[in-house]
Amino acid sequence: MFFESFKVTGLAIGQIIILGAIGYALVKANILKEENLNFLSRLVVVVTLPALIFCQLIKDFSFDAYPYWWFFPVLSIVITGFGLFIGRIFSLFIKGEQAKIQFMSLIGFQNAGYIPLVLAGAILPEAMVGTMLVYIFLFMLGFNLAVWSLGVYMLTFEKSRKFDMASLFSPPVIATLFSLVFIYLGFAKSVPDVLFRPLKMVGECTVPMAIFVVSANLAYVKLKNISIKNMSLVIVAKLIVLPLVGMLLVLKLGMPQLIGTLIIMQLAMPPATSLSVIIRHYKKKDLLISHGIFFGHMVSLLATPIFLSLYFVLSR
């Protein structure tokens, strides 16, 4: 089971690495320039991601089918809070206020959707896959609200300006809230295919475009500026401490295995690629984000299957 989950996780992250290599090469070949990258980042935040959220929600979710649907968004927010707490402790070893905030963001926000969706279909029995996909989808409701409100606020915060409520309502958050109201009012089934299919096609562009933004950001960062200390702290806090403590809590509480698998899977994920999109979109200096995402995904090739395999063995 260990080698199976290792292979599946490696292949899933490998797909992201391949897409990232393409974006990196486009920058190095001077095909994708910085002004193009700014436009691409804005396109993801304002257009493709909201389209993806809307289409997934109206297609896969209903309040009647999942009366306890709220548990998973709340769970997502709790996990985010736990990650930020651990990040805050480790940030005591990071110099610079903005660097501390970016470090905490790397620890608190994980790749909550793409890799878990791939893993669910490969490591679980066929009878459990459908349920797990719904769990992940509901989990992402809380994650999207957190990363595109609290995450945006943290990464764009400046002491010199007052808190702006509008910063909590980025396009992805508005899309999530609008979709929930849309479904609650019973309009989901009335969306014609002539509208739904083009929106779905636009939304499906989100993952590769977001990864292009991440990898292109890396192309603008000189390797000599990498802090071995900071990256080591990211790896230890994000990919060792979080999943280890989470696994001990899940086993202690005796949670159902499917929910426990979801929790361990999310805690063992590398930092969210959307953090790089946020940094680029709001024109903030990338101090740790791109490097943290890059090395986090590299190390997760080993860390994620190790913790999933350990949990499967210990939860039997």
CATH number at residue 251: 1.20.1530.20
Q: How confident is the model at residue 77 (pLDDT cuts 50, 70, 90)?
A: very high
User: Distance between CA atoms of 305 and 303, rounded to whole angstroms?
Assistant: 6
**Who has greater pLDDT, 139 or 59?**
139
Q: Which range marks the domain in which residue 43 is found?
A: 2-314
Lowest mean pLDDT segment, chosen from 1-5, 240-244, 278-282: 1-5
Contacts of 142 (CB under 8 A, 6+ apart): 72, 73, 74, 75, 76, 77, 80
Mean pLDDT check: name the lowest of 76-85, 183-192, 203-212, 257-266. 203-212
DSSP state of 189: G
Instruction: Indicate whether 306 pLDDT > 90.
Output: no
Q: Binning pLDDT at 50, 70 and 90, where does residue 313 land?
A: confident
What are the tens digits of pLDDT across the range 114-144? 778 777 877 777 778 777 888 888 898 889 8
Count the domains in the chain: 1
CB 114 within 8 A of CB 8: no
Query: Which has the higher per-residue pLDDT, 268 or 19?
Result: 268
Does pTM top 0.75 for this prediction? yes
Task: Give the residues across from 248 on adjacent strands.
Answer: none
Residue, of 274 and 158, whose pLDDT is higher: 274
Q: 20 falls in which pLDDT band (50, 70, 90)?
A: confident
- As a whole number, mean pLDDT of residues 184-206 equals 91
**147-165 burial by CB neighbour count: b if 16+ within 10 A, else e?**
bbbbbbebbbeeeeeeeee
Give, to the nearest 10 degrees, the angle between helix 126-145 and helix 171-184.
120
Percent of the chain residues topping a pLDDT of 70: 93
Q: How many residues in total does the chain contain?
A: 316
Check whether 163 has a pLDDT greater than 60.
no
Residue closest to 113 by CA, chosen among 152, 132, 131, 139: 139
